[in-house]
């Protein structure tokens, strides 16, 4: 597990996804890297996990998480059904809600069955699968092969249109699940990601 403090009371960690498998031929992942990102945001009254994945057999992780949840209401949020991960274990351990509390704004993207979360205090956007950081370190849309929406096959053009309202936010950080985080200048990175090819 790799744990990073991004702001006071805002952390991101990565852990290997148990369902990840390399391809049979050259050992490279089919679509996404084995390590996926997870977020914890803490306020005076809440501890909010987004897409959490508990590292296997890591008691120190749970001790760290328990300390931050003490005397707080806990919420466990998922950005997409594909990111169920360890949600149920966190909900059971902390008797947690699965609804976003007031420090967090939900941004549903209905055509893709995804909800992004906006952490106003830290000007931080937490997407699910629609946005990622590639090997070049740049924020971009996910591959079109991922865009099999709930009602029809999607295109990058449709996703750009659906995400355009995010440009109204003063984004600084973008904490992606796939690829590294955008640690500053998030609105500019988002604008470049949403620009027509």
Listed residue (45, 57, 60) closest to 97, CA to CA: 45
Residue 30 pLDDT: 47
Q: Tokens 């699910």 — which residue? A: 128
Specify the CATH number for the domain of residue 26.
Answer: 3.60.15.10
Q: Which domain holds residue 30?
A: 2-194
Per-residue confidence band for 151, with pLDDT thresholds at 50, 70 and 90: low
Digit-coded pLDDT (tens) for 22-35: 555 444 444 556 67
Per-residue confidence band for 17, with pLDDT thresholds at 50, 70 and 90: low
Cβ atoms of 74 and 46 within 8 Å: the answer is yes
Question: Rounded to whole angstroms, how far apart are CA atoms 171 and 159?
Answer: 18
Question: Rounded to whole angstroms, how far apart are CA atoms 23 and 192?
Answer: 31
Question: Rounded to whole angstroms, how far apart are CA atoms 145 and 135?
Answer: 18
Instruction: Specify which of 18-27, 55-64, 140-149, 173-182 reaches the highest per-range mean pLDDT.
Output: 173-182
Chain-wide mean pLDDT for the chain?
88
Residue 190 pLDDT: 98
Digit-coded pLDDT (tens) for 123-150: 999 999 999 998 888 999 988 877 765 5
Tell me how many domains the chain contains.
1
Residue 95 has pLDDT above 70, yes or no: yes
């Amino acid at each position: 597990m790799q744990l990073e403090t991004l702001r006071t009371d805002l952390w991101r960690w990565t852990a290997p996804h148990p369902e990840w498998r390399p391809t049979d031929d050259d050992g490279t992942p089919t679509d996404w890297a084995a390590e996926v990102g997870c977020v914890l945001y803490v306020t005076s009254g809440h501890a909010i996990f987004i897409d959490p994945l508990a590292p296997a057999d890591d008691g120190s992780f749970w001790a760290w998480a328990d300390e931050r949840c003490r005397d707080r209401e806990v919420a466990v949020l998922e950005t997409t059904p594909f990111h169920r991960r360890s949600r149920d274990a966190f909900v059971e351990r902390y008797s947690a809600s699965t609804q976003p509390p007031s420090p967090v704004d939900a941004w549903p993207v209905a055509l893709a069955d995804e909800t992004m979360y906006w952490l106003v205090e830290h000007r931080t956007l937490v997407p699910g699968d629609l946005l990622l950081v590639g090997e070049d370190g740049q924020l971009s849309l996910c591959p079109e092969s991922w865009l099999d929406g709930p009602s029809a096959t999607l295109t990058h053009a449709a996703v750009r249109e659906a995400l355009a309202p995010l440009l109204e936010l003063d984004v600084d950080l973008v904490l992606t699940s796939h690829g590294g985080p955008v640690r500053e200048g998030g609105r500019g990175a988002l604008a470049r990601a949403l620009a027509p090819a």
